[in-house]
Amino acid sequence: MAVASLAPDAGEVDQLYIETRELRLQGFLFFLISDCVLFSSFIFAYLYMRNSGQGWPPPGVQRLDVAFAAWNSVVLFGSGATMHYALENFKYGHFMRYMWFLLATIVLGVMFLGGQAYEYNHLIFGEHVTWAGSGIFGASFFTLTGMHGFHVFIGVCYLTVLVLQSAAGVYTRGKYFGITAGTLYWHFVDVIWVVLFSIFYLL
């Protein structure tokens, strides 16, 4: 049933979907913009406080493990590539390839979250870097990366829903806004991570 759903629509055209498609896209883009504003507020506050005159990193805080973070970043950026190919394969009617790429995106997202959990465990219990006890750095790092990790978790849940909906034949080659929204959201968390990786690990 799911494979058949990728054929060009032969029945009635969903006029309501056609009329509201652009509005849905605009609404979703406004949501992403509001999320950018949220992250930007915290990022600029962190950069301002970081450059307020104290040495960096703060006394008692070692530099973060760049190599491990870089590996975890490759995992997340790889998931952005698989999500892109998932959407492209769906648009061209390759349902099984679409499903495999979508599942690969979910697995890579879970791997990224696992890497973040490992890093948190190492920082908190190994180096005693905490949200409340490590000054500006600890509060900013755990707040921003925690917010991003929560977004990745929500994305994984959403992509899982897409898998179930796709298997049930919800989407067709002419009606797949849910998949487009999932792709845009996943690229958004990729872009945010580029910024966070830069300010916490490279600068």
The pLDDT value given to residue 3? 46
Mean pLDDT of 99-116: 98
> Is the residue at 3 inside a domain?
no
- Is the pLDDT at 193 greater than 80? The verdict is yes
Q: Which two tokens stand for residue 183?
A: 């792709």
CB 169 within 8 A of CB 89: no
- Give the structural domain span for 95: 12-202
Mean pLDDT of 168-180: 91
Helix H or strand E encompassing 155: helix 135-167
> Is the residue at 7 inside a domain?
no
Phi, psi of 51, deg, nearest 5 = -100, 25
The pLDDT value given to residue 50? 85
CB 182 within 8 A of CB 161: no
- Is the pLDDT at 2 greater than 50? The verdict is no
Amino acid at 122: H
- Is the pLDDT at 4 greater than 50? The verdict is no
Determine the 3-state secondary structure of 175 from DSSP.
Answer: strand
pTM above threshold 0.85: yes
Mean pLDDT of 189-203: 95
- Is the pLDDT at 13 greater than 70? The verdict is no
Phi, psi of 165, deg, nearest 5 = -65, -40
DSSP state of 123: I
> Is the residue at 4 inside a domain?
no
> Is the residue at 78 inside a domain?
yes
> Is the residue at 2 inside a domain?
no
Q: Which residues contact 197 (CB under 8 A, 6 or more apart)?
A: 69, 70, 73
Between 128 and 196, the more confident residue is: 196
The pLDDT value given to residue 54? 65
Mean pLDDT of 165-177: 91
CATH at residue 140: 1.20.120.80
Which neighbouring-strand residues pair with 172?
175
Q: Give the percent of the chain with pLDDT over 90.
A: 70
Closest CA relative to residue 46, chosen from 200, 149, 201: 200
> Is the residue at 1 inside a domain?
no
Helix H or strand E encompassing 99: helix 95-121
> Is the residue at 34 inside a domain?
yes
- Is the pLDDT at 5 greater than 60? The verdict is no
Mean pLDDT of 121-136: 87
The pLDDT value given to residue 21? 80
Phi, psi of 196, deg, nearest 5 = -65, -40
In angstroms, the first-to-last Cα distance of the chain is 51
Q: Give the percent of the chain with pLDDT over 70.
A: 92
Q: What pLDDT, in 10s, does the model give residues 51-75?
A: 876 667 777 778 899 999 999 999 9
- Is the pLDDT at 152 greater than 80? The verdict is yes
CB 101 within 8 A of CB 81: no
Mean pLDDT of 182-202: 96
> Is the residue at 6 inside a domain?
no
Question: What average pLDDT does the chain have?
Answer: 89
* Count of structural domains within the chain: 1
